[in-house]
Structures are given as structure tokens and as C-alpha cells.
Amino acid sequence: MRLLISTPRHIALGLVCAAVLSTWSVQAQSLRPAANGKTLSRALSESAQPSMQATPTLRSADYIVAVVNSEPVTNNEVRARIQRVLQNLKAQGAQQLPAPQEMAGEVLERLIVEKAQIHMAKESGIKVDDYAVDQALENMARQNGTDVAGLRREMAKQGVDEKQLREEIRNQMLMQRLQNREVDGRVKVSDYDIDQYMAEQRRQSGQTDMATAAINLGHILITVPENASQNEVAQRQTRAEEALAAVRRGDDFASVAQRYSEGGQAILGMRPANRYPGLFIESVANTPVGGIVGPIRSAAGFHILKVVDKSASGVPAVVTQNHARHILLRTSPQLGEREAAQRLAELRQRIEGGARFEDLARQYSEDGSAQMGGDLGWAGPGRYVPEFEQALNALQPGQVSQPVVSRFGVHLIQLVDRRQATLTPREQREMLRDVVREEKLEKAHANWLQELRGQAYVEYREPPQ
């Protein structure tokens, strides 16, 4: 089993707060563009994720606007989601925001589709147990430089109810697992598909480089509150300039981001330029790899950007590769995620006591790599699902992770070694296979959602306000 693939439409729960809650998770894109060049539907997808920002308090005069397979959608759900969309757009630097009334219909449709997915997931027996949700919360805390207790305190200050947050995470995981089961198997990438993609890239090479390039940006955000005084803005700008000075004198960008940033993930990952806010791409258009720009002012605050890598072909020439082993226990009605994690924790103790990881993998792993001692070989970024890759990237050579939940089950991961590698043409082609697969996945996912929406029973009541 190859642990493919880090797809934009999947919620990367290991990055929930960094990439999702701070709006850097990328999901399926379509529909009309928002004011800053980013599609409104992408903001809608991102807003579906749990938010660390306060959800508006439900008013007493709430009412049902639609019923989906017997599940109600309330006016306050629509209003809360609209606010989350606006927060996401603002955080990504949108200079003009759509009026809430203009968004109500599209937001309602998004909620209807989500309710249909959750209903189907539950009807088909898909479950997410508390252990997986606990792990997601731990990942959220870690990505925000705190622990779970600190995360709870921060949520309380912002008026975010932990019970609701846990339920939203659970629902997102249900939808992800349903999509994996129903959609992923439909998508195949042939050599012809890759050839066509490469031909299209060559055709576009005469156009503006940044329009067709892929780019990996480092990002530090110093937020500025709404209606901030001039003194507050000046203080936040000073903090941004301190962070800028630190990275320009050679401090590790990720470490500086951990000290200063309020915008989640420090390194945003290689992605097509058109999936970044227009403000970012305009700011780094003439910046070489390794270059730093900022502070850049947006409605959200001050941004500092680093061009980590970029590629006209959509893949980097040099990548960090990990050599990993893993032990996989698949979950079932008889073996929940918590029980699987407990078994793997016991195996981890045995490894710490001197047992060889590969011997235990051969004995216990339920993955096809078991006969090779769990060896997955060398792999670059994007070859594993996000939750697996995040845990792997946090390890040093020789270290073994805590149990990690993914869509495949629960893993114990060992990092054997790490290296910088220049990709051969064949390896670059294989990375392009992942890019092409992602494009096809997005189309297949959109088609599947349309089918699901058509099959759902939907009764509209009063329009949302």
C-alpha cells in the first residue's frame, strides 16, 4: 500500500489549526472568483473546517432554512458559516469582501452537501472514535505552539465551545473517509495523462511564468485586529519588522514563525501559484528562491513571505526525501482506533527496550510492506497522506513516532534517514503523476458531490437571512 496522497480536498487533520484553521488548507475549487482572485467556493470549503475564531452566538429566534435527509440546516448555521468565510478571505489578504447577503445561497448549498455526506457516512457505518478526535486536537495545539490545555483556554477566550469544535472535527473526518472510499478508487493516472499535462505546461511556458508555476512559500502573519488604533497598528508593524529582521539575519524561518506568527503553518508547501492569494503572488513575482519580502499589509495584518522553492514544471528540482518504515493496524468494528493505538504503543515500548522495528513490522503490520520490515523506501514531499507526512517530518533519524491515525488505520512510524536529493527526470515525472492525480481527483470529487446532492432529499423552508 502506498500512502498516497496529500490532496487539497482532504482535510489534513494533523495540520488542522496550522493549515486548516488558519485558512491554509486547500480544498476542491470551483465556482465564481472572490474579490481577491481566490474562488469563493474555496473559501467556503476552508470555512467548513473548525475555526479558532469565535463563532457568532446563536440568536434565540433561530429557524430551519432547509431539511436534508431529515437533518435540519438552521439560519444560524448559515450565518456562522458566512462569518467564517469572511474571516478566511480577510486572513488571506482580500481587499474587498462580498456582502453576507450575496453569500447566503451558496453557503446554504455547501451546508446541504455537507449534511448529505455526513448522513451517507453514518448510514454506511463509517465511524470516527474519540481517539482520532483527541489526536486532531493535539495536532492543533502543537501547530499553535501550545498544549491542549492552552488550546482550551484560547478557545474559551474566543467563545469557542470545545464540544462543538470536536463535533465539527468528527464530521470533517467522516466526510474525508467517505470521500476516500467513494471517490479515490475511481481515479487512475496513465502515462498518456502525464504526457498531456507536460505538453500543456510547455504550451503555457510562453505565458507569464507566475501564472503557470508552482511555488512553495514560507509565511509569517502578524495579525491586526479590526478597528485597531494607530498605536496598535504601529506595535504590530514593529513586531513584524522584528520577525523580518530575524529571518534576514539567517535565523531558521520555521523557528522565527513559531515565535512570531499568528497564521499557522510556516511552510505552505509546493502548490500552483493560482492557489495562493493574489497579493502574495504579486509580492513575490520577481523574488528568487530564498528571497524574503515584507512586511506586506493586508486586511488581516502584516505578512512576511519567503520563496522556499518554485518550479515552472510544477515540481521542484531538489527535494527533501525521507526513508521511513511503518507498522499499520487497520481498524474494524472489532478493533477501534484507540485499541489499535494502545497495541502500537506497546510495540513502541518494545522497540525502546531493544526490539528491532523491522522484526515487529513483519510480525504485526497489516500493510503490504510488512514482508520488507515495513520499509517504504525513499519518498519526497506529497507522497504520503498529510497526517502521516506531518508525523514523519517531525521525527529525527532513528526516532519512532507515537501512534498516528490516518484514513488507512493507525501507524507506528520510524524515520530511518533523511536527505536532500536532486530528482532525476523519471522522479520528476512521478511527482507530476501526483499533480495530475490531484487534478483528476478534484474533478471526480466534484462529480461525486453533484451525484450525491442529486440523490439527497432536500426540503427548503424559509430563506436564510
> Does the domain spanning 209-311 belong to CATH 3.30.2290.10?
no
139/118: higher pLDDT: 118
Structure confidence at residue 144 as a pLDDT band (50, 70, 90):
low
Cα–Cα distances (Å) from 203 to 219, 315, 321, 430, 440, in that order, read: 31, 17, 30, 20, 20
> What is the β-pairing status of strands 64-68 and 71-74?
antiparallel
User: Which tens digit of pLDDT belongs to each residue from 249-268?
Assistant: 888 888 888 888 876 677 77
Q: Enter the DSSP assignment of 52.
A: S
User: Which tens digit of pLDDT belongs to each residue from 55-65?
Assistant: 444 445 788 98
CATH of domain 13-187: 1.10.4030.10
Question: CA torsion, points 347, 348, 353, 358, in degrees to nearest 10?
Answer: 70
What is 95-121 written as a DSSP string? Answer: SS---HHHHHHHHHHHHHHHHHHHHHH
Same topology between domain 13-187 and domain 209-311: no
Distance CA(386)–CA(341), nearest Å, equals 18
Q: How large is the average pLDDT for residues 69-91?
A: 82
Structure confidence at residue 24 as a pLDDT band (50, 70, 90):
very low
329/89: higher pLDDT: 329
Most confident of 54-68, 248-262, 281-295, 401-415: 401-415
> What is the β-pairing status of strands 271-272 and 214-223?
antiparallel
Nearest to 209 by CA among 286, 314, 310, 312: 312
Fold of 319-422: Chitinase A; domain 3 (3.10.50)
Average pLDDT, the chain: 78
- Indicate the domain borders of the chain: 13-187, 209-311, 319-422
Are 36 and 93 in contact by the 8 Å Cβ rule? The answer is: yes
